[in-house]
Amino acid sequence: MAGVLVFGDTVGGKLAPASLEMAVAGAELAQALNEPLNGALIGDGLDAAAEEFKGGFATLHLLEGKHLRPYTARSAIAAARAAIDACKPSVVLFPHTLETREWVPRLAAMLDTGLVMDCTALAAEGSDLVVSKPVYGGGVVGQYVVRGTTRLVTVRTGVLEGAAGAASGAVNKIAVAEPAAGRVTLIDEQKAQAEGGVRLKDATTIVSGGRGLGGPDNWHYIEEAAAAIGGAVGCSRPVADSGWVSSAHQVGLSGTSVKPDLYIAVGISGAVQHLAGISNSSTVVAINTDGDADMFTRANYGVVGDYKEVLPGFVERAKQIRG
């Protein structure tokens, strides 16, 4: 067992930006461990994404099959196992996404190996793999040594810098056999994508709403503001938990970590678990009736006021500017 295997991610057949973050993290680790670096993508029709997934990989494994899209955990696990069988890595990195959260723990159990999820830093100490991740609501950073012959790590996206490296030395296409039918039938992929609009973790502008919106009937204020600036829609956890919008929009420790140029937080108090997900935002704007809300400690700009009075003027002006 040797080598670092890096899984990228695709959206609609295109390479997701998090993939290059994984590639950079993988390259640094492979160098520190003095082991080869390989890449992998899972999907159906991966040629375009493979062109973009430049990480200086010795081999880029393309795990392909019509049954791999839309995603199911069973198919993803079968694909990942095919790549692991092909290159027998000592470390495998995955972007920490809603999907990998579901299937990578199952993969670890099947391989009977160690897994640490949602890591924000990776280091090699001799042959040991030491990873860091926020724990206790993000107030403490824990360090873990990952054990096992094929050590698995999911890496938080939007935290590390991504950059394209050299083209792959070789491309290995693997036709993944369809696993036997499972007990899960995917019925709402289309709905979730339509709702999502601009993909949250790749978005450069985000308008995010919290419990201060008062209820789902007011959610259109957030959607209109996001549409006016061509941004994605985010939310705090209570909003997702209450079912006002799907949990795919949740920003924060137990949601998505985002890295936009502009993050507008509307009616969000600024709990540490929410702030953990926006720490890499360039500019944060807070709109809140409570001038003492913690969100203002992170905000670069703030408006103390009722969103119902603030947002309509903002939307009108944004529409004027954008034409």
- Given the complex with ligand FAD, which of 107 and 293 has the nearer CB atom? 293
Q: Which of 109, 105, 40, 103 is nearest to 75 (CA)?
A: 103
Q: Is 307 in the site for ligand FAD (CB under 6 A)?
A: yes
CB of 208 to ligand FAD, least distance (A): 9
Interface with ligand FAD includes 252 (CB under 6 A)? yes
Laid out side by side, the sheet with 128-135 consists of 121-125, 128-135, 140-146
Among 212, 234, 260, 302, binds ligand FAD (CB under 6 A): 212
Q: What does the longest C-alpha to C-alpha distance in the chain come to?
A: 61
Contact 269, 248 (CB under 8 A): no
Subset of 258-297 contacting ligand FAD (CB under 6 A): 267-269, 271, 273-274, 277, 287-290, 293
CB of 306 to ligand FAD, least distance (A): 4
* Cβ atoms within 10 Å, residue 66: 10
> Per-residue x/- marks for ligand FAD, 125-144, CB under 6 A?
------------x-------
CB of 192 to ligand FAD, least distance (A): 18
Binding to ligand FAD, residues 220-249 (CB under 6 A): 236-239
* Other residues' Cβ atoms within 10 Å of the Cβ of residue 216: 12
Task: In angstroms, give the least distance from the CB of 273 to ligand FAD.
Answer: 3
Distance linking the first and last C-alpha atoms of the chain: 57
- From 16-24, 146-154, 161-169, 210-218, give the range in contact with ligand FAD by CB under 6 A: 210-218
Backbone angles phi, psi at 282, to 5 degrees: -75, -55
Q: Report which residue type is found at 20.
A: L
* Beta strand 37-43 pairing with 4-7: parallel
Three-class DSSP category at 233: strand
Footprint of ligand FAD (CB under 6 A): 137, 210-212, 236-239, 250-255, 267-269, 271, 273-274, 277, 287-290, 293, 306-307
